[in-house]
Amino acid sequence: MKKSFKPGTMIYPLPAVLVSCGATPDEYNVMTASWTGTVCSNPPMCYVSIRPERYSYDIIKRNGCFVLNLTNKALARETDLCGVRSGRDGDKFKLAGITPGKAEVVSAPTVNESPVSIECRVVDIKPLGSHDMFLAEVVNVLVDDQYIDENDKIDMAAMNLIAYTHGEYFDVTNPAGFFGWSVRRKKVIKREKR
C-alpha cells in the first residue's frame, strides 16, 4: 500500500552540480543546483532552473552562458557551502577554496577541481513559477584526464560523483547494471566431446 503526500518534487536522486558563471573574474560566481538535467541528445541540450532572486541568475541571463560542474565526494563540503552562501556576500570560489578554470568555448569559469565541466550556451529562458529554467545547448565538455582510461573511455565510477536526495548528499559510486544488461544474452560455453 502507498500513502498519499501533497504534490511535490519527489524525483530523486538529482545531480548536485556547481554552476559557474561570469564573463570576467570580477563577476565570477559559483552556486549549487540540483534542478538540472538533460533534455535532448541531438543537439546535446540541458537545463538548470534558478530562482530569479539568486545572485547567479542575472549573471547568467546577461552573459547567456554557464558551466555545469559535476561534483564528487571530495567536493561535497564545497558543494554544500556554495549552496548556502550568496555571491552577494563575497567571492565563493575563495570562500569554498575552489579554483576557477578556463572554459574553452563559453565566457564563464569552470571549477578546476570538478571531474567534468559542461559548457553551456543559453538558448531560452522559461519562467515556470518559483524558478526560471535556463535551457541551454552543450557546446563543450571538459573531463579531467585522470578519469579517462587508455581506450579513451570515461570512467564515471572512478569519479565518486554525488547526488542530492531530499536534503542530503549521497555518493553514486557503485553501478547497479549497464544499459542493455537486462536483455543481454549470456554466453553459452560449449564443452568439447570426449
Pairing verdict, β 65-70 and 17-21: antiparallel
Q: Which of 23, 99, 37, 22 is nearest to 68 (CA)?
A: 37
Domains of the chain from N-terminus onward: 14-171 (2.30.110.10)
Mean pLDDT, the chain, rounded, equals 93
Per the structure block, which three cell numbers stand in for 97? 577554496
Q: What is the mean pLDDT of residues 81-94?
A: 95
Give the number of other CB atoms < 10 A from CB of residue 119.
Answer: 23
Which of the two residues, 183 and 191, has the higher pLDDT score? 183
Residue 66 confidence class, pLDDT cut points 50, 70, 90: very high
Q: How much is the pLDDT for 185?
A: 73
φ, ψ dihedrals at 91, nearest 5°: -75, 105
Q: How much is the pLDDT for 178?
A: 81
Reply yes or no on whether the pLDDT at 189 is more than 90.
Answer: no
